[in-house]
Every structure is written in structure tokens, then in C-alpha cells.
Amino acid sequence: MASSSNAKHKRIAEEEEEEEEETLEEIEGFDDFTLASSWERFISEIEAICRVWMVDGPKNLVEKGAECLGSQKKLYKVKSEMKHGTKLYSIEYYFCVSNKGKASFWDDDLHDLQLSFGVSDFMVIAPLSASGVVLDAPESTKLLSSVAIALTNCGSNWPAFVPVHDPSRKAYIGIQNLGLIFTRRFDADRIGSQVPIRLMHLEGLYELFISKFALYSVDFSASFFKVQFAMKLTYRSPPYESDDEINSVDPEVNESKGDIVSPNHIKTQWDDDCPWTEWYSAEDPIRGFELVAIWSGRMFESSLEMAELENASSFDAEKWLLCPIIFPFMMDDSTWMFVGFASQIRLLVSALDMSFEAQFLDDFVSVENPASDNSKSSTAIPPPTVLDRVLKEIFHDGGHNSHLVERDNKHSRAIKGTPLESLFAQFCLHSLWFGGCNIRAIASLWIEFVREVRWCWEESQPLPKMPSDSTIDLSACLIHQKLQMLAICIEKKNLSHDTHNSTESVDHTPSGKKVDAEADPFKEPVKNENGSYLRSYCHQDSEPSTSSSFKHHDYSVRSPDLQKVDQVRKGSAGVVGSMMLLHSYQKMHAPYTQDAPIMTEDMHEERLHAVEVFGDAFSFSGQLERDILSSDMSAFKAANPDAVFEDFIRWHSPGDWENDDMDGCAGDGNNWPPRGKLSQRMSEHGNLWRQIWNDSPPLPVLEQKSLLDPIREGEKILHYLETLKPHQLLEQMVCTAFRASADILNQTMYGDFKPMKTRFNQLYITLASTLKPLQANHLREKAELIGDLRRLCLVFEHIEKLLIFAASIHRKLLDVPRLSEAMFSDYFNFYLPKMGTSLESICYDQEFKTKQLVMMHERDAVSILFPPPTANQSWRKVLSMGNLLNGHEPILREIIFSINDRVEDSHYGSSIPMATMEEIQTHRMYIQGTSNDLWVALSVTSWD
């Protein structure tokens, strides 16, 4: 914009000069003195630039690439360069696109010159030098005059400013033509040290302003002028005590107390009770708060009133605005490394990238393997003491198994990882922080982890943090399924050993007869090897009676041989409704049966593959079904000694028994025996079910061979864990680490922040979709996969940062939930553009400055953020200004004095009728300062 505009102006000026020279050559003896001086040419160039900007207008200038200033996109800037003599100058035009309503005095998006002098659009002309200011007074006057003449020629009333003096003073001079009658002049300067005491207080500042327009020397404290007043005080919450202060306790006092440490001297972290603190301590994203107290639109007539205002409480301010002070790592990733789950999972992804370099995990820790030299050069394995400590933490059973379901999020099950408190999840979480999460450290930790698991197996010790409830969670990763099954195998092995020992000791009755526990059908239901009740089949049309309802009179009347039958019946779970056996006048008993053998995901796949290979070699899908059916038939025979094959079909597969039309499905005393026949499938010659029935001996479940061989399955699981390929381990670790970390963060208490809840639910969906290739073991191109995972780490980091911010703002403003929710919403909207999937972060050059209005009933809760200063904090400051808030003086005070007048007043000497003139602001003074820094900007409107 600057180069094109500058070239355009030079081209116009050169064409005009050539035309004038040709005209002068034709007219002899004519001398043109209108463009004789370089200064006049300089004014002409400024005028040409201003005319172009005026013709374009704000909207066209924005479309042509005007630079946006401020986060709210209200102020824009265009720039051009020109040369005068041997110096280069820049001329900048600042303009507002939207002027809807009058801007507030204290709008955070205002430019310094707008706030200082109360202007809207303005120009700044300055030399192109290192300092950017004009050090020579005649030169600054000349520049300002040039701009003023150029703007007058254009018919523009833009104010123009020139920076002068030393850059640290931030001094300006300026001028603005207000039509043909008024001229406004501007002047600003700064006192950087040794501010006079009188100017530290409102009374002295008021008198300073009065002195700028009072034409007579009087005692200003006794004078009365109607001065409009506005003030903005900024308070900052005190920082926490530093570690040095906590440790700087008198050593003699410590010696006298021995090892006892006072609780007041223990530094606590802000997130001590947050769920992530078990793994890392996060920097508090909120370093404090800034509170702005505003007085506006008030009128004062004497300096005494100003002195009273200075002693007034900040609670008397008309408006309170609160803004959190955000830690730099929340905005700029390039200057601060955020350490959390996301950063460690990013290292885990790098380890996955390297895991494809070797076939076995031992290769990464082996000294002889040259393939791991690359990884050894940049990584190291922690010492054995650290390794032992981490293993103890992993295998320490903290009794969290009962909370697995409560902690599991409904969305997290879509991620094929592991429940949070399970053994493999704890291994993955510890791996994130073990040895910098490099591939060699992970390999060494896994090898020792598997050794501990084998020790539990060989010593028949329960596997910590693994439930043994005879079910396999097929939604979890394969390693977790294997560990679940191993825990079940360990328990089965222990139970079978205990059962074997108990059968060797035989109980005898007083008469010396042996008593078989299974021969008594009236005892409580028997538990299987897992400690759960053995399963028994029942039908919808017949309900078995419970063990407590077994009575002799249920069938003793019809069966004189009942006692004889009961002596040989074993494994009965109770009668099946009113069903009767076909060939004996006995009620049918449902047996206890073995549970179907548990299988992991890979075992199911092997079984389906075998079915595909063998096809319909059997009338059912494989040998496993044959074994289950044979076990059920043996148990049914033991519970019903007089049963036939048809009775078993009626109980086990009622769909294969066809009742006669006149008979019911269950017989009673009037229609025994039940009439019906087998289905065509079961009545065929050589039916496999009948063959199995004929081959199955009558045995209750406790005398049968278990369908699951715990010894064989346990050894197969350990072999799988010991020979697992590195990339297969890392793939499951990545999925589990993402899921477990998300589940931990999801337990954070942050109030009712709806944007946070929505984003976190979306995070689970994003994790599930991105990790799906790893879960299904259908890997894409390695580079593409690693790139997607690293982008996922960045998305996870954004959510993690927002969650930590939400937790911090929630607990700091716990008593004002409306305020905390509004502040989080403001920061969320500010942070939203940063939450892309690109590996490059944005928003580096922006600062979060959005403030929230504090309601009157919320002021007491907000004032708690500013506790009275401690003794260590009090001596650091010399309280020089008033308007204290709980003993804290403002870190910045901004004041605007102004006075309005009419042009017909005597000191203007005007004869213009009052009806034709309006009241104008004749004097305005903006003061910004602290106890040792003062900046004053004065604007005066005069009648020239």
C-alpha cells in the first residue's frame, strides 16, 4: 500500500513538472515561483497522499490492505513514505471503520493517542530512523505546519501528530483545524522519575489542569470551576509468596522445633486436589486478576472535593471490571513448553515411530544390537532404583477396582484402550513419565513388567488391578483382554488346587457313612470354580423354582421311589416348573452347567477362521460347541437319572420338540406322560446330538473336566506378552494413553461451563475416529499415521490447556459462578482460532484483555481476590496514592479532566451570536501515572 501510493504520487508530480516546463519553454521571459521551494513541494506531496486516502474512504482502504490494529478490528492503519531533502519520512493515517455510538473513554481497543487526546481518526508523521522521533524543535514545527497546511488545502479536519524529544518520554505535539474558526493544539510529555508529591494526588492534578486555562494568579484551592472528571483505577491481585520467602525462616527457630514444620510454611500448589496431580503439576494459567474501578461523568468545582474523592473507597466506584492475567504458555507455544499429558503422548508417538526399527523389544535394550544405536545416542534408561520404584507403583493394588465403572466415561469406550484403573492403563501412564518416554525406557519397563506378571502366575498370586469376574471386555485393547484372562486363569488354578485338596479329606456322618454334597438336592446352589453360581437353563414357558422352594411334598405323593432317586441325583439346581420326564413319573430338574469358556478377541478370530476353513464338517460350528453340549448333557443326566434324549431336547432346545395339539407343553397329573415328538432335524438317522448324548456319561459339573484349561491358557498368554512386537505394544499404548489421560482430565471439576463440556465430548469422538486404524490393526502409511497422531496430540493439548484454565477460574471465582462462566466463555472465544489441527499455532501477537462487568452483589466476593498485604508485601511499597482496595494501591491511575465553554465568553472576545454557536470542549487533560511515573496529554481549543 505504501509503495504503490508513494509511486503514484511521484508519477503525478513528475508529469505536472514536465507539463509546466513545456509551457514555460513556449512563453519566453515568464518565471513561475509557485513551486519554487522544496518545502512547498513537500506540502504538495502530503496533500496528494491525503486526497487519495480521502477519496478511497475507510471501506476501500480496508479492501486495499489496510493494517488492522487491536483484537476488536475497529482501528486500521495505512502508511506511505516520502522524502524531503536528505531525510525520509513516514506518514500514517489511523481510522475507524465503525463509529456506531460514541466510544467509551476507557475502551481497551483505543489507540494511545485516541485515549490521550480524545480523537477518532488521526495522522502521525515521523522520520524513518531508529528512534522514530524528531529531536530538533524547528524540524518538528516545520513538519507539523506542513501537515496542517496540506490538510487545510484538502478540507480535512484530521488531527496530526509528530513524535518529539527522546522516545522514552512518549512526547507528541499536534494540531487540528476545526473549520475556519477553531484550532486545537495537542501536547504530551512524560515524567519518568521523581514525580512531585503534589502531582501524586488528585488535588494537585486538579490544580495542574486549572492552571492551564486560568488567566489570573489566585489560590486554586479556593477557586471554583465546573470541571468534568473521569477516573480509571487498575488494581492487580498480589502474587503468591515466593519460595525464597517461605524458606527464609529464622534457622534458629527451625532448630528449636526440630523436624516439626509449621503448616504455614508449607507451600501448596494450586492444583493439589486436581485429578492430574498424580502425574504432573501444572502451572497456574491465571497469574492473578486485574480489577478496574471507573468513575465517569462527574462534575467537580473545587480541589477540596478532589481530596475527598481520593479518600473514598473503591466500592463507591460506578463500575467494576475484572480481567484474568493469563500465563504466557496459554497464548504462545513458542516461548513456553507446556508439560502435560499431551506433551508426553507426543513423545510416545515418537517412540511408536521408532518401534518399527526392530523385531523384538529386547533389541532396543540389548548392547549387541546395532539397530538400536540410533536410539541409544539420544535416549537413556533410568537406573534400576527408579525402575523398581515405578514397578511397585504399577503393581500396587490401591483398591480402585470397585470404581472402574464409575470412572469410565460413556464416550471413552469407543476408544479401544483400557479402563483407567486397570493394570495396563497404569503401565501406560507411568511410561509417559519414565525416562522421558523414549523407546528404550519403554522397552526396559515392559520387559520387567512382564516378569512381574509371570511371577504372579507362577506364585499363583492375584494379578493387581485386574478383576476376575469371568468376563472379557472385548471393547478394550488386546493386552488388557489377555491380562483379564490371565487373572481368571490364576483364580481357576487356585480354586482347582483348593478343590483337589478338599476332596482328599472326606467327611463322615456319625454312623460312618460317606455323605456326598452333590447328592442333596435341598442344599443351597453350588458355586463354580470362579466363585459364581453355575449356570442352569430354563425356558420362557417354565420357571425353575429356587433352592429355597425345594420341598419333599412337591412330588413325594406321586413317587414312592423318590428317596431312592434322590440318592443318585447330582448337580440339581431345582425343578423346571411342572415339566415331567417322559419315561418316569419324576419332575424334570435343571442342572448346574459349566459356563462357556471365555475367549479374547484374537481367540474369537481364530475360531471364526477355523469355521471358514472346515465349513459344515459338523452340524454346529466346531469342537468347542461339541464340548459344551457334551458337558450340558452329562450334567442333565446327573440331575435327571431317568431322563432320555427327548427330555434333554425339551429342556435345552424346546424349538426341536413338537407337542401334540391336545397336549400342553408341561404335563400335570392328568396328562402324563407328555405327548409329542422330536423335530425332523433331531429325529434324522445318525443325528450328531443323539450320538453325543449316547457318549456323555452322567457327571455333575464338579466331576467334569473344565472347558477351560487354565494352565495351558495362562502359558499361552505369557508367551504372547513376552514375544509381543514393539510396534504392536506401542500401538496399544498410544490408544490406552489417550483414553486414560482423557478420562483423568474428564474428572476435573470446572462448574457448568457448557463450551468445555461440548469440546470434551468432541475430543472423545475425535480420538476414537483418529485411533481407529490402530484399534483395527489396519495400519496406513507410516508417515501419514504418525502425522495424524501428532496433530491429534496438538488437539489434545488445546483441550488440556482449556480444561486447566477452566479448573483454575472455577475455583478462584467459586462464589460468583456467573462471572467465572462469562470469563471462560470470553477466553474460549479468544482461544478458538488457535484450536485448529495445524501443527503451527497462531494468536502469538494477541493479548487477552477482555473484561467482565462485576455486579454490585458480586463485589464482596471479588474483593477477596485482593487480600490485605502481608508484612513482607507491605514494606516493599510506599503508599503514595489514595483509593486503596483492602490496603492495595492501584498499579495505574488514569484521569481525564475536561471543561466546556461557549465561544461568546469574554475571554474569547467574540461577537458571534450565542444562538449560532455550540458548547465546545476547550481544554482536556489526560493523566496516566503511578507513584513514580506520570504521563500528561493536554489538548486546548483556541480561537485563532
Phi, psi of 887 (to 5 degrees): 90, 0
Mapped onto helix, strand or coil, the DSSP state of residue 888 is strand
Identify the DSSP state of 358: -
Identify the DSSP state of 855: P
Between CA 539 and CA 517 the distance in angstroms is 27
What mean pLDDT comes out for the span 454-475? 88
Query: Could you tell me whether strands 160-164 and 122-127 are parallel, antiparallel, or unpaired per DSSP bridges?
Result: parallel
Binned at pLDDT 50, 70 and 90, residue 224 comes out as low
Extract the C-alpha cell encoding 880. 503514595
Which of 125, 130, 207 lies closest to 172 in space, CA to CA?
A: 125
| Proportion of the chain above pLDDT 70, given as a percent | 72
Extract the C-alpha cell encoding 845. 501477537
Q: How confident is the model at residue 791, as a pLDDT?
A: 92
Q: Which amino acid is at 70?
A: G
CA dist list (Å): 691 to 41, 620, 626, 686: 117, 14, 11, 7
Query: Could you tell me whether strands 75-84 and 67-69 are parallel, antiparallel, or unpaired per DSSP bridges?
Result: antiparallel
DSSP string for residues in 463-493: PTT---SS---TTS-HHHHHHHHHHHHHHHH
- Does an H or E element contain 354, and which? helix 341-355
What mean pLDDT comes out for the span 215-231? 69
Q: How confident is the model at residue 604, as a pLDDT?
A: 79
Q: Which of 25-29, 291-295, 694-698, 872-876 has the highest mean pLDDT?
A: 291-295
Q: How confident is the model at residue 669, as a pLDDT?
A: 47
Question: How do residues 294-318 score in pLDDT, each as one tens digit?
Answer: 998 888 888 788 888 888 888 999 9
> Residue 100: is its pLDDT beyond 90?
no
Identify the DSSP state of 37: S
Q: Which amino acid is at 902?
A: R
Between CA 601 and CA 303 the distance in angstroms is 85
Residue 127 · residue 134 · CB < 8 Å: yes
Mapped onto helix, strand or coil, the DSSP state of residue 89 is strand
Between CA 577 and CA 614 the distance in angstroms is 40
Identify the DSSP state of 522: T
Between CA 284 and CA 327 the distance in angstroms is 7
Identify the DSSP state of 239: P
Q: Which amino acid is at 195?
A: V
Residue position matching grid coordinates 479556593: 222
| Proportion of the chain above pLDDT 90, given as a percent | 37
Between CA 554 and CA 578 the distance in angstroms is 10
Between CA 373 and CA 368 the distance in angstroms is 9
Residue position matching grid coordinates 455510538: 101
Question: How do residues 872-902 score in pLDDT, each as one tens digit?
Answer: 666 555 556 778 888 888 889 999 999 887 6
> Residue 939: is its pLDDT beyond 90?
yes
The packing angle between helices 817-831 and 782-812, to 10°, is: 150
The packing angle between helices 2-26 and 38-63, to 10°, is: 140
What mean pLDDT comes out for the span 282-298? 91
Q: Which of 326-340, 598-612, 683-697 has the highest mean pLDDT?
A: 683-697
Of residues 753 and 904, more confidently modeled: 753
Question: How do residues 699-737 score in pLDDT, each as one tens digit?
Answer: 998 888 888 888 999 999 999 999 999 999 999 999 999
Binned at pLDDT 50, 70 and 90, residue 840 comes out as low
Whole-prediction pTM value? 0.77
Between CA 268 and CA 281 the distance in angstroms is 11
Burial (Cβ within 10 Å: 0-12, 13-18, ≥19) of residue 531: exposed
Question: How do residues 403-433 score in pLDDT, each as one tens digit?
Answer: 333 444 677 888 999 999 999 999 999 999 9
> Residue 841: is its pLDDT beyond 80?
no
Q: What angle do CA 129, 132, 135 make, to 5 degrees?
A: 95
629: Cα separation from own chain's centroid: 53
Question: How do residues 509-547 score in pLDDT, each as one tens digit?
Answer: 333 333 333 333 333 333 344 333 344 444 333 333 333
Average pLDDT, the chain: 78
Between CA 821 and CA 632 the distance in angstroms is 62
Q: CB neighbours (10 Å) of residue 662?
A: 7
What mean pLDDT comes out for the span 572-597? 86
Extract the C-alpha cell encoding 506. 472326606
Q: How confident is the model at residue 849, as a pLDDT?
A: 85
Question: How do residues 789-827 score in pLDDT, each as one tens digit?
Answer: 999 999 999 999 999 999 999 999 999 999 999 999 999
Residue 761 · residue 410 · CB < 8 Å: no
Binned at pLDDT 50, 70 and 90, residue 499 comes out as low
Residues whose CB is less than 8 angstroms from the CB of residue 731 and which lie 6 or more positions away in sequence, other chains included: 352, 774, 777, 779
- Does an H or E element contain 824, and which? helix 817-831
Instruction: Find the DSSP H helices in 844-930.
Output: 859-863, 871-874
Between CA 567 and CA 519 the distance in angstroms is 6
- Does an H or E element contain 228, and which? strand 227-236
115-129, 505-519, 837-851: range with lowest mean pLDDT: 505-519
Q: How confident is the model at residue 500, as a pLDDT?
A: 53
Q: How confident is the model at residue 458, as a pLDDT?
A: 93
Between CA 552 and CA 558 the distance in angstroms is 11
Q: How confident is the model at residue 577, as a pLDDT?
A: 84
Extract the C-alpha cell encoding 245. 520467602
Residue 854 · residue 864 · CB < 8 Å: no
Binned at pLDDT 50, 70 and 90, residue 218 comes out as low
Extract the C-alpha cell encoding 725. 512386537
Q: With the C-alpha atoms ordered 24, 30, 36, 40, is the resulting torsion angle positive or negative?
A: negative
Which of 547, 520, 548, 539 lies closest to 578 in space, CA to CA?
A: 539
Residue 188 · residue 170 · CB < 8 Å: yes
Q: How confident is the model at residue 887, as a pLDDT?
A: 84
Residues whose CB is less than 8 angstroms from the CB of residue 877 and which lie 6 or more positions away in sequence, other chains included: 869, 889
Identify the DSSP state of 936: E
> Residue 332: is its pLDDT beyond 90?
no
Query: Could you tell me whether strands 892-901 and 75-84 are parallel, antiparallel, or unpaired per DSSP bridges?
Result: unpaired
Extract the C-alpha cell encoding 634. 452329562
What mean pLDDT comes out for the span 55-74? 85
Extract the C-alpha cell encoding 874. 507491605
Between CA 468 and CA 447 the distance in angstroms is 24
Torsion angle of the four alpha carbons 458, 460, 464, 465, in this order, in degrees rounded to the nearest 10: 110
Q: CB neighbours (10 Å) of residue 329?
A: 16
Q: How confident is the model at residue 138, as a pLDDT?
A: 85
Q: How confident is the model at residue 375, as a pLDDT?
A: 46
252-261, 695-704, 922-931: range with lowest mean pLDDT: 252-261
Between CA 828 and CA 818 the distance in angstroms is 15
Q: CB neighbours (10 Å) of residue 808?
A: 24
> Residue 344: is its pLDDT beyond 80?
yes
Which of 546, 586, 534 lies closest to 703 in space, CA to CA?
A: 534
Of residues 193 and 754, more confidently modeled: 754
Q: How confident is the model at residue 888, as a pLDDT?
A: 85
What mean pLDDT comes out for the span 218-244? 72
Q: Which of 242-251, 252-261, 269-278, 675-684 has the highest mean pLDDT?
A: 269-278
Mapped onto helix, strand or coil, the DSSP state of residue 823 is helix
Strand partners, 124: 92, 161
Q: CB neighbours (10 Å) of residue 306?
A: 22
Question: How do residues 72-83 score in pLDDT, each as one tens digit?
Answer: 678 899 999 988
